Chain A
Amino acid sequence: MVHTLSAVPSFRRYERPALAAIGVRRRPTYARASREIGGWYRLGALGCSMTVPRDSISDELETLVLRFARFAGRIAHDRGLPQEDTDELLQELRLRFWRARKDGLRDLSAGYVRRTAISAALDIIRRRRTNRNVSLDDDEGTATPLASTTAGPGELLDQSELAQRVARAVDALAPARRVVVRMHLQGYKREEIAELLRWSEAKTRNLLYRGLADLRSALIAEGIGTREATA
Chain B
Amino acid sequence: MSDEELQRAYQRATAHAPPGAHPEPERIAALVLGTAREPDRVATLEHVMQCTRCRAELDLLRSAHEGARAAGTSRFPMRWAALAAAAVLVIGVGAVALRQSRPVTPDVFRGQRSAVALVLPEAGSTVAKPVHLAWHGIADARNFHVELLSARGDVIAAWNTSDTVLAIPDSVGLDASQSYDVWVRATMTDRTEVSSPIVRFSVK
- A residues lining the B interface (CB < 8 Å): 18, 22-27, 29, 56-57, 59-76, 79, 81, 85-86, 89, 93, 106, 108-114, 116-118, 120-122, 124-126, 129, 140-141, 143, 146-147, 150, 152-154, 159-160, 162-167, 170, 175-176, 178-179, 182-187, 191, 196-198, 201, 212, 215-216, 219, 224-225, 227, 229-231
> In the docked arrangement, what's the CA distance between A26 and B155, Å?
6
Which residue of A63, A72, A108, A154 is within 8 Å of B5 (Cβ)? A154
Judge whether A57 and B78 touch: CB under 8 Å: yes
CB distance from A16 to the nearest CB of B (A): 13
Q: 10 smallest A-B Cβ distances: which pairs?
A: A72-B67, A113-B72, A143-B15, A225-B1, A110-B72, A167-B13, A71-B70, A182-B49, A68-B71, A117-B68
Which residue of B13, B26, B70, B72 is within 8 Å of A70 (Cβ)? B70
B102 at the A interface (CB under 8 A): no
B113 at the A interface (CB under 8 A): no
B126 at the A interface (CB under 8 A): no
The 27 listed contacts between A and B (C-beta, < 8 Å) are A18-B154, A22-B156, A23-B156, A60-B78, A63-B75, A64-B71, A67-B74, A69-B67, A72-B67, A73-B63, A75-B62, A81-B56, A85-B60, A89-B63, A110-B73, A126-B25, A141-B15, A141-B17, A160-B13, A163-B9, A167-B10, A170-B10, A182-B10, A183-B49, A185-B49, A187-B7, A225-B1
Chain B residues within 8 Å of chain A by Cβ, number: 74
Which residue of A57, A89, A112 is within 8 Å of B77 (Cβ)? A57
For the complex, would chain B's binding face be called helix, strand, loop or mixed by DSSP majority?
A: helix
Judge whether B10 and A23 touch: CB under 8 Å: no
- B residues lining the A interface (CB < 8 Å): 1-18, 22, 25-26, 28-29, 31-34, 38, 41-42, 45-46, 49-50, 52-53, 55-57, 59-80, 150, 152-158, 171-173, 190-191
> In the docked arrangement, what's the CA distance between A22 and B191, Å?
29
Indicate the member of A56, A73, A120, A198 with the most B CB atoms within 10 Å.
A198
> In the docked arrangement, what's the CA distance between A13 and B25, Å?
35
B79: A residues at CB distance < 8 A: 57
CB distance from A78 to the nearest CB of B (A): 9
> In the docked arrangement, what's the CA distance between A175 and B153, Å?
45
A79: B residues at CB distance < 8 A: 59, 62-63
Judge whether B70 and A67 touch: CB under 8 Å: yes
Judge whether B66 and A162 touch: CB under 8 Å: no
Closest to B67 in A: A72
Which residue of B10, B18, B63, B75 is within 8 Å of A86 (Cβ)? B63
State whether A227 and B72 are in contact (beta carbons under 8 Å apart), knowing that A22-B154, A118-B61, A196-B31 are contacts in the complex. Answer: no
> In the docked arrangement, what's the CA distance between A206 and B144, Å?
29
Which residue of B12, B65, B173 is within 8 Å of A117 (Cβ)? B65
CB distance from B1 to the nearest CB of A (A): 3
